[in-house]
Structure formats: C-alpha cells, structure tokens
Amino acid sequence: MKRTLASILGLVTLVALVPAAHAAEQCTAATLRGNYGFTFSGFVQDQTGNNVPFSGIGLATLDGEANASANITVSVNGTLQVFQWTGTYTVNPDCTGSALSTNGNADFSLVIVRGGAEFMGVATNPGDTWTIDFKKIA
C-alpha cells in the first residue's frame, strides 16, 4: 500500500511539473530556422470534389524571419507530381503557429516541439484532411 501511494504521489508530482516545463519554452519565428525534411499524408479533394489519397516528402528551408520554401514530391491518388512550395509562417510564444502558401492551397496550423528540432501540422484548407511532420536536418 505504501509503495502504491508513493508511486501515485511521484506520478502526480511529475504531471504537475510538465506544464511548468512547457510554459518555460518560448518560441518566435527564429525558432524555425534551417533545413527540414518532411513527410505528409491524408486526403485532398480532386477537381470533381472527391476525396483522394495524398502523400509525399520534401525538403524545406525556413529563414527564421517567417519565410519558407520547399521542394516537394507528392502522390495524389497515385499520380506523382514534383513542385516548389513557397509561403510565410507565424509563430506564437506558446510554440503554436500557422503556415500560409503564397503559391497554392497548402496551408496548415502547426506546433513546434523540442526547441524547433521538429514541428507538426494539420491542413486548414476546406476539404483537405492531412498531417505533416518536419524534422530538422543537423
């Protein structure tokens, strides 16, 4: 019984410290600087309004001043395409943010983790359902 109570108290203490540790991390646009490899997958709407599978990979460059570009290889319903994406991003102090495309419909909300070593996103364009995961290249 004492061991169980000690384990529960230890877990409660650990859980109580997690928000404080997260609150200490502050992010800015400069948190995202450098080259990132990424993958994405989900569904997008085709020209007829049907949801079709969508996945791909790419290499993105973020300048730390809210500008981004990427070279992307994507499969849309099994058809491969290669294109360049350009956009801007915003970063909030709580390490959330958004990215907006300047040359297409690939906008997403994002969350930054591990001090900018990784960030993940989810599509915000109507009809699109996909997620994306960026990992910094050392």
CATH number reported for the structural domain that contains residue 39 in this entry: 2.40.128.120
With respect to residue 114, please indicate whether it lies within any of the assigned structural domains: yes
CA distance 62 to 36: 8
Query: Do the domain assignments include residue 39?
Result: yes
Residue 75 lies in a domain: yes
- pTM metric for this prediction: 0.80
Asked whether residue 36 is assigned to any structural domain, the reply reads: yes
For residue 18, is it within any domain?
no
- Domain range for 58: 29-136
| Residue located via tokens 């409660």 | 12
Euclidean distance between CA atoms 138 and 135, whole angstroms = 9
**Residue 131 reports pLDDT greater than 90:** yes
- By C-alpha distance, which of 93, 99, 101 is closest to 122? 99
What is the domain count for the chain? 1
Residue 9 falls within a domain, yes or no?
no
Rounded CA separation 12/8 (Å): 6
Phi, psi for 18 (deg, rounded to 5): -60, -50
pLDDT per residue over 63-110, tens digit each?
999 999 999 999 999 999 999 999 999 999 999 999 999 998 889 999
**Where are the alpha helices (H) located in the chain, listed in sequence order?**
2-24
- Give the pLDDT score at 2: 53
Q: What is the mean pLDDT of residues 36-47?
A: 95
